Chains A and B, each alone.
Chain A
Amino acid sequence: EPEVTQTPSHQVTQMGQEVILRCVPISNHLYFYWYRQILGQKVEFLVSFYNNEISEKSEIFDDQFSVERPDGSNFTLKIRSTKLEDSAMYFCASSPPGQGANEQFFGPGTRLTVL
């Protein structure tokens, strides 16, 4: 069964460094998302992406963040100048074309630790 994959599973970085989190959505999906989950808290929406542009972004998704679909299969989240409070689990999701509920398929997540 096709699934969303994410790499790396765990990323450790120093404060102020840039990180790129990678996701490979399910191949026929058209809508892509990033969410984050700070330890012990709820899952929060960051950004949605469709047709090579951002559809919606949350207040969290400021100029520090950017997304890209560089090659038609990968979907990346770049975090510039990381801060301690960026430490979280980051989930990628994708959803297929067509009618019906907005069912999103989530990847296993990347745990980002900022030291």
Chain B
Amino acid sequence: GNSVTQMEGPVTLSEEAFLTINCTYTATGYPSLFWYVQYPGEGLQLLLKATKADDKGSNKGFEATYRKETTSFHLEKGSVQVSDSAVYFCALSPLNRDDKIIFGKGTRLHILP
């Protein structure tokens, strides 16, 4: 079956530190991969996506590369800000048009000033 595993949180970093949140997936076929972010008290927002192997998704300084050989989609940012504090969800969707999104458990990120 399809599943997503991401690193446990919370992750606490100082401002301007380098961030990595690991994510691996199990899927039949070639899924699309996503990172969603949930800021305190808000809903889910798409942060970035990648639809095929070796694609790099990027947004707001965050990046993730679709690695088919390692079935991974790790989220990185070179210099985090206090405003990046949120819960980050790795997710996948099988290629069918109206398939559900399968989420990881989420990683809470705290950035200290």
A residues in contact (CB < 8 Å) with B: 31, 33, 35, 41-45, 48, 50, 55-56, 58, 91, 93, 95, 100-109
Given contacts A48-B100, A56-B100, A108-B43, contact A101 B106 (CB under 8 A): no
What's the least CB distance linking B112 to chain A, in Å?
A: 22
Whether the pair A55, B98 counts as a contact (CB closer than 8 A) is yes
B residues in contact (CB < 8 Å) with A: 32, 34, 36, 42-46, 49, 51, 89, 93-106
Given contacts A43-B44, A107-B43, A109-B43, contact A102 B104 (CB under 8 A): no
A110–B93 Cα gap in the complex (Å)? 23
Given contacts A45-B100, A48-B98, contact A103 B49 (CB under 8 A): yes
A106–B34 Cα gap in the complex (Å)? 13
A-B contact pairs, 25 of them (CB 8 A): A31-B97, A31-B98, A33-B101, A42-B104, A43-B89, A43-B101, A43-B103, A44-B103, A45-B102, A56-B99, A93-B101, A101-B49, A101-B51, A101-B93, A102-B99, A103-B32, A103-B49, A104-B46, A104-B101, A106-B43, A106-B44, A106-B45, A108-B42, A109-B43, A109-B44
